[in-house]
Structure formats: C-alpha cells, structure tokens
Amino acid sequence: MLDKFKLGACLPTFGSCADRYCLSGYGKGGKTVEEMMSMARQVEDLDGLELVGNWHVNDDNIDYMKKLFADNNLAICMVVPDLWTQEKWGAGSLASTDASVRKDAVREVAKSMDWAAGVGCAYVDVWPGQDGFDYPLQADFTEAWKRLRDGVAECAAYRSDVKVLVEYKLKEPRTHCYVNSAAKTILLLDGIDNTGCLLDIGHSMAAGENVAEAAALLAEFGILDYLHLNDNYRTWDDDMLVASVNIPETLEFVYWLRRLRYSGWLTLDIFPYREEKLPAVRNCFAWMKALLNAVDRTGLDKIGAVIETGDANEAVRLVREMLTGK
C-alpha cells in the first residue's frame, strides 16, 4: 500500500522479457508462476499481481490460484484476456473482419471474466492491440468501429460483477491501433454499461498526450478506473522504469491522481529486458513514493495555486522545489 493506492505489478515482470530479436528473452526464462510469485513477495508494499488469461489462470487452476494468492497475501488485481499472444489474433480480435474470430474474442474475454470472478478480481483488461491496421487502404474504419463497440458491449453484458476495462495505445503491435487515445476510448465506451478505462502512462505519452490531462478527461467522464505505470522516450512504448525519463510530467500526474481522488491500483507495466527484476520494481515504487511525498508535503492547495496562475516560471520553480527542495 502506498497511502490510498494499491501497488501492483504484472506477473511476467518477474519473468523474462523478450523482443523481436531475442525471442528467447534476455533473462532466465521458463519461470513458473510460483517462482515469479516468490520473487514478487520480496517487494515491500506490493498488494497484487496481474495475470494473463490462459497463461496464468484458466479453467484448470482457478481454485489453486485463488489459494496461492491468499496464502501469499496478495490480490489478483487484473486478469488480462489473451487477445494478442497468438497468431489467430494477428489480423484483429474484437474488430476482426472474420465473424468467427470476433466470436472467439468475445468468448476469450468472457472466459477471463469467469476466471476473474473465480479468483475474486474485479476487472479484466481488454487491450485490443491487434485491432488496427498497418497500411493505407487496409482498414474499413467505419465497420471496425462498429465491430469494436459491439464486441465490447457483448463482453460487458456477459456478467456484471467483473468490469471490462479497455486499454488504449497508439500503435504496436499494429502500426495503427483503433483505440488510440483517452478521448477515443470515451467515445468507444459511451453508453456501454460495466466498462471503464485502463490508462497506461507510456501509452498516453507515446500517443502525444499529456498523461495528467488524459487522466483528468477520463475522470470527467467517470472512467478513470485503473492505471499502468512506466515511462518512455515518447515515440514508442519502451516500458521503462517509472520516472526514469520524464520526471516533471510524472510528478504532475501524481498531483492529479490526488486531486481527482483516484484511489485504485497503481500497477507497473514495465519490461525490464536487461535488468534485475526485483530492483527494477523497487525502483519504480521508490520513485512513486518520492513523488507522492513531494505532492503531499507541498499540499494540493499550494500546487493548485501555482496552476491557477498558469505562470510557467512558477510551475518550473515549483517542480524544482518539490524535487530538490531548492
């Protein structure tokens, strides 16, 4: 726990990270769920872990996983339906032009919702990363949009005790993903009950958004439900350690979380390809604590007063003071 927030991480953070060149991964691969959890337990303050459907939780191990997490005093904060690791989703999942693929995708989400319910998790994270296009004249935007809306609606209606969160991203694995911004996510979910948004800092930054602004907009529409923390160099989802590149905007983001009274999960979605996993996770939480302390020490009123002026000099000075005390 970090004050009002719950701290989470994706289970594979403790495994091995691969990329398209080093497909076998940069660290020791092949860790079991138990081994990864054993590492996770060593992180002070960690409250829960995200699991990927099929890979970590499935029809055969629901009770086992529930007990395993209970025994370790950790929550399962998210079940992520596997709509992106198999070749069959390559040309899209919920927005596929193939009706049987769309049906499969909805079923996959439904299964994850069952698994989530079974292990006491409130959310599934629908990331339609394969739903998009790569080349000009390859996509029927109008039809794709309808299919996405229909698919999400069907998932959301499947059962009401697990909320369907949609995670947006500008690109990757497609050169263009359909659900690519906070505003578009709001439009996508408009009028569909039992849905919300998962905001990933890095996705937001790489989409050209200011992430605090994205959070405020989502909160305005009542769907700031869940957060993924990480960082990048703005043009790609580098999935780096929190605040390792962009400190002022991460600080601003933390301020807005307080102001918007966000009190949900702060879950790491990092890919520490070449890094030791435990120090990487601790580093991220240490930065979050440092920034949260800076915000709380300074006070929302004082920060709000500077924002009210709109004076860039005051803003830059305040950031420096909050970080360095000078």
Residues 86 to 115: which contact a second copy by CB under 8 A? 86-87, 89-92, 97
- Tallying the residues shown for the chain, one arrives at 326
CA neighbor of 225 nearest in space, from 187, 182, 169: 182
Cβ closest to a second copy, residue 124 vs residue 148:
148
Q: Which helix (H) or strand (E) holds 292?
A: helix 277-298
By the rule CB under 8 A, 210 interacts with a second copy: yes
Residue 318 Cβ vs a second copy, minimum distance, rounded to whole Å: 6
User: What is the per-residue binding string for a second copy in 306-325, x denoting contact by CB under 8 A?
Assistant: xxxxxxxx-xxxxxx--xxx
* Touching a second copy, residues 244-273 (CB under 8 A): 244-249, 251-252, 255-256, 271-273
β-strand 46-52 against 6-10: which pairing, if any? Answer: parallel
**For a second copy, which stretch binds (CB under 8 A), given 7-15, 35-43, 194-202, 203-211?**
203-211
Does the footprint of a second copy cover residue 229 (CB under 8 A)?
no
- Mark 285-306 as b/e (b = at least 16 C-beta within 10 Å): bbbbebbbebbeebeeeebeeb
Cα-based distances in Å from 71 to 5, 66, 74, 115: 22, 9, 8, 18
192 lines the binding site for a second copy (CB under 8 A): no
Which range of residues in 4-12, 111-119, 222-230, 232-240 is near a second copy by CB under 8 A?
232-240
Count CA atoms closer than 13 A to 82's CA, side-chain side.
Answer: 14
Instruction: Give yes or no for a contact between 178 and 144, defined as CB atoms under 8 angstroms apart.
Output: yes
Q: Which stretch binds a second copy (CB under 8 A): 5-13, 40-48, 64-72, 181-189?
A: 181-189
Give residues 10-29 in contact with a second copy (rule: CB under 8 A): 17-27
Query: In the range 148-177, which residues lie near a second copy by CB under 8 A?
Result: 170-173, 175-176
Q: Is 50 helix (H, G, I), strand (E, B) or coil?
A: strand
